Each structure stands twice: as C-alpha cells, then as structure tokens.
Homo-oligomer: A and B are copies of this chain.
Amino acid sequence: MPEKTRVTVNGYGVIGKRVADAVRAQPDMELVGVSDVISDYRIQTAVTLGIPVYASTPSAAVSMRESGLPVAGELHDLLDRTDVVVDCTPAKVGAENLAHYRDHGVKAILQGGERHDVTGHSFVAHANYATALGRDATRVVSCNTTATVRTLTALKAAGLLAKARGVLLRRATDPWESDHSGIMNTIVPEGSIPSHQGPDAQSVDPDLDVVTMAAKGSHTQNHMHFWTVELSRPSTRDEVLEALMAMPRIARVRRADGVVALNSTVELMRDLGRPRGDMYEVAVWEDILTVQGNELFYTYTVDNQAIVIPENIDAIRALAGTVADAAESIRRTDESLGVRRDFLSAPERAAAGR
C-alpha cells in the first residue's frame, strides 16, 4: 500500500475545518494537524474531535496555551512532517505564507481570497487538474468562481457555449458571524461591472466569454446565480440538462419536489445527513431552466461554505502527484463525500415517469 499524503490545514475557519474533515475521510491522506492563532470554541472543537492542534505563530502558541488548549507545537514543526499544506487563512495572509511553505519544501494550496498571480495557477478539478500535476502551489478559486466554471465549462464541453452573462447574488456574511460583518434589510451591489468573478473564471479557462454583475443580499447562506447564455446554436432544455449532468458536482433540484428557495437546499442537506449540512454540488433548478432558441436562462444555488471542499481534496492529489488522472481523483473524492447528481431517489422518480 502506498504511503498516505500527509496534509496540514493552516487556518481552521469556515473552509479549513471542512477541508480537515474531508481529508480525514480520504483513505489516501492523513491529516497531520491543523494550525491557527485563535483560542475560542472554533479551535476547541478540533480538540474535542481529536485533531492535533498547532499554533501558527509563537505568540499564538502562548495565548492558546494560556487558554488551556493542548497545543501540540508550532506550525513550522508541523510543516516538517507535511507533504501538502492547505492554507485557509484569511484573504491576503496566504500569499504571505507561501514563501514560508516553500522554505520547508511543502507544496501549498491557497484559497480564492488570494490573487491568481501569487501561485500562477488557479484550480477547478475537472477543468485543469492536469496542469496542476506536480506543481508546488495552486489556488482553489472562490465559491462563486468554482460554480461559474463548473456550469460554463459543462456547456463549453458540449459545444454549446457562445457567451455568458451572469448576475451573482451573494450571501452577506457567514452563519456563525455575530458582529460587525452583516448587512440588514438591503441589497448592496458590487461597485463595478464586471465584478471580479468573471475575470477570475478566465484565470481557470481563458476561453470563457463571461461577464458578471454581483451584489450581496440580506441572507447568510448560499449564493444564487442567474445566467443569460448565448448558445452557439439553437438547442433544447434536454440537451442543456444533459450537458450539465455530464459534468461532476452539478446536481439537479426541482421546485416540483418542494425545493423552492436557497433555504430548501440547506434543509435538504441536513435531512440527508450531510455533515454540517454541507452541499458540495452546484444545485441547478431543473424546472426553472429555460431555452429560447439560442438563448439559455438558468439559476442555481451554491453553498459557499462547502463547494470548494472537493476541489481542495483533488488539488492535494494533483500537487502530490499521487493520482495522475483527474477523473479518478474526482471519483475518489466524490465517493468519500457522498457527492450526488440528484439528491432525491431516482428509481421512484423514474417509475413515476419523471
């Protein structure tokens, strides 16, 4: 049996703790530790879960120990026993950390809050796994960009995409935040058009003709994207759905099943027993999607806390070079996380002629 890839997660926040869970679910990986600078319940739960906790800085080591946390050491100790570090620190911090990782000869995955040119490579598994193979660093793009790339490259792969114009309604802050980050009873548009997500999608696939407008809504869970797509030729709803379903990590939902809003999908994930209620898939509304001649209109929802988790797992394999084939890595990841194409039982639906 081959050795497991040793993974460290630096930054045990919204993304970091989910990556840690997902790494622990991979037979070919080992979570050697997580590292952070905080001392409160967010890191205490890692202790409760039995995860070795390290301090990202010397001063954090002091404050964390003073708080009673059983600190296993400092990040640099951990890096000496690490093959790949997944950096989930706040935006811009990852860029500063990269040199440090390189000093230790550790491969590094940064997140979408960093600029593309920090690593020179931006990652979405099915789109460009191959070009990440063996690199020493990549950047898993943001939740909005990941979702954008998934559906647009699905259309592109089917030869259907001419150009795409999207409106992205983002959640305002994360569900756990309780101060100084929310908006209330309003919508706040991005200050300029195009918003950064369109160009960011092009950092993964430069051929995409995509322009995005974005805004923040007064809710804390999930983004919602609305797309107006010019197709390369007149098509049909069935053909488009087939194209989307040919791409991993896109799942269908239906208003006819009572899934009528962002919070329906959140409840659905909890009903299905997903850890933390996470949804790794882009959930496209099958019965809202509409084709008119060569125009396609569709909408989907994105769990901003979870959608990049499978991408991070694949990125670990790509950098480590342990799996050469994108499809094989994606298959392993999705099986371990229970990723689905339809959240509700297909046999009965089929029997009912749907």
Contact = CB atoms under 8 A, between A and B. Distances in A.
Interface string A249-268: 00000010111111110111
Interface in A252-287: 255, 257-264, 266-268, 270-273, 275-277, 285, 287
Given A180-B181, A181-B180, A192-B288, A217 B169 contact: yes
Contacts of A271: 17, 41-42, 45, 49, 276
B344 A288 contact: no
Given A68-B352, A180-B181, A261 B186 contact: yes
Interface residues of A, number: 90
Contacts of A219: 184-187, 217-218
Contacts of A183: 177-179, 182, 184, 261
Nearest to A220: B184
A193 B288 contact: yes
B185 A221 contact: yes
A299 B351 CA distance: 45
Contacts of A66: 352
Interface of A: 17, 38, 40-42, 44-45, 47-49, 66-70, 165, 167, 169, 172-173, 175-194, 211, 213, 215, 217-222, 224, 226, 228, 255, 257-264, 266-268, 270-273, 275-277, 285, 287-290, 292, 295, 297-299, 343-345, 348-352, 354
